[in-house]
Chains A and B, each alone.
Chain A
């Protein structure tokens, strides 16, 4: 058994470019992931950062096989899932979960919190969803009474907790979080990040945390991948990315962050 959660080699993925589709025939394709290679060891908290459109979400969706790559390989816990059929993926789906950016549009507004959290449990044929739901609420620090609420009755931070509860309810090995604190106030950001830090410790999770903002992930992540235009321009331990960045683009990202300090040189 390998102690890698993911081994990714020369991953390529393209989309049809509808803007340049000729009247007859197929649209040309735009390559969005241009040959990515990296590993995610068990227990790692990996940050994936980069500007908008750099391919972060596409990479995330390919990793949990919501998208099928053009070429290259994705191994999850030793199994090649690059082109696996949905039937082969189904048993794996309880092991990798995703939390989406916008909690309001990713949570069904007409379902109560209990139903939202139970969704993936039912798909996996879990019998006693009720107790799993309550346990998941406990894990993310929401009162059990929230099971009966609707998403619109919750604050942004609380909705993100529901998203996290839904992801951890199945006790997955791996969670992919896509920009989950980007829309939140700093104080809610801090709470959600602390919660993730705690869950990683308590549940022995492996986590990939996608963000366009380097500054929020320094404490959470042990390693950071910096993406730019579909390529990995830097893959290094967090300390190195902040203290001795190698890529020009990483330096540009760092220098663009406005620190709460009127004396920061921000030229």
Chain B
């Protein structure tokens, strides 16, 4: 049994179209799974469904989410929040909007420990300092007193990584955590996430639209199109190809400076038509 099990999760806009279509995926303890797809495919909604932070406009039609074997739906709302808070953490895409601009960095890390896990302030403070050091932030005590805008983008992302690992979660959802960063900073941050994940044996669901990034840090991946998982495979097999025609097209669209001829090819219309038809066919099985 995997640590995270999402089974046949279907979401829709309230009285509107489907956003996710019977999505199933799992992440084992210590595993890094990539969740790949173009923008609007539903990647962030999967993360939000797991974290219990879906927007009001989105409703769960059917499906099950299990954490460590426990079906979240069987818990009271309060217990569900507690379980998720204790076991799951998020590394968001945009560190600037994720951090409160008018508050110092320190309390934004420690509050989570105090509020969700009931730690004492002193323990939380000590743990935060330790973690900032672990994510290679020089002079952690000074950074704890800084405001978010006083720090670089890479530094802010390190803080969110520290914050995510602070409470020793079993599962981390990283939602495009390096999309806003330069390649050189991205590399440092990806290494950091990977090292922290390995050290803490965390299950990591890594949302990205970049197959280059997937090949660097994921063991397995799920490819999403229009809210449907069209391929679920392990990374080596995926890059050895050929899998689903749409995934292969995404691979040909990915920039490769070493192979400019097999690079930046738009997904062909017939591939889009075929995957659209596949989704429509699948929808018939899901009912009205």
How many chain B residues sit at the interface, stated as a range, is 35 or more
Chain B 257-276 residues near chain A, CB threshold 8 A: 257-258, 260, 263-267
Q: How far is the CA of A214 from the CA of B263 in the complex (A)?
A: 13
A-B contact count (CB 8 A): 101
Number of interface residues of A (CB under 8 A): 32
B209 touching A185 by the CB < 8 A rule? yes
CA–CA, A122 to B62, complex, Å?
54
Instruction: Please tell me if the beta carbons of A187 and B38 are within 8 angstroms of each other in the complex.
Output: yes
Question: Among B185, B190, B253, which residue has the most Cβ atoms of chain A within 10 A?
Answer: B253
Chain B residues whose C-beta falls within 8 Å of the C-beta of A257 in the assembled complex: 183, 212, 257
Q: Do B264 and A190 have beta carbons less than 8 Å apart? A: yes
Tell whether A186 is near chain B: CB-to-CB under 8 Å: yes
Tell yes or no: A189 within 8 A of B by CB: yes
With A190-B265, A194-B266 as known contacts, state yes or no: A258 contacts B215, CB within 8 Å: yes
Segment from A10-18, A27-35, A146-154, A248-256 that makes contact with B: A248-256
Q: Find chain A residues with CB under 8 A from B209 CB.
A: 185-186
- Residue interface mask A205-233, B partner, CB < 8 A = 1: 00000001111101100000000000000
Interface residues of chain B: helix, strand, loop or mixed (majority): helix
* Interface: A259 (CB within 8 A): yes
Q: Mark A181-196, 1 if CB is under 8 A from B, else 0.
A: 0000111111101100
In the complex, A148→B214 CA distance in Å?
Answer: 40
Assess the B258–A187 pair: CB atoms within 8 A: no
Could you tell me if A262 and B239 are in contact, using CB atoms closer than 8 angstroms?
Answer: yes
CB <8 Å contact, A219 and B186:
no
**Which B residues are closer than 8 A to A by beta carbons?**
38-39, 153, 181-187, 190, 209-216, 235-236, 239, 249-251, 253-258, 260, 263-267
> Using a CB–CB distance below 8 Å, which chain A residues touch chain B?
51-52, 156, 185-191, 193-194, 212-216, 218-219, 242, 252-254, 256-262, 264, 266
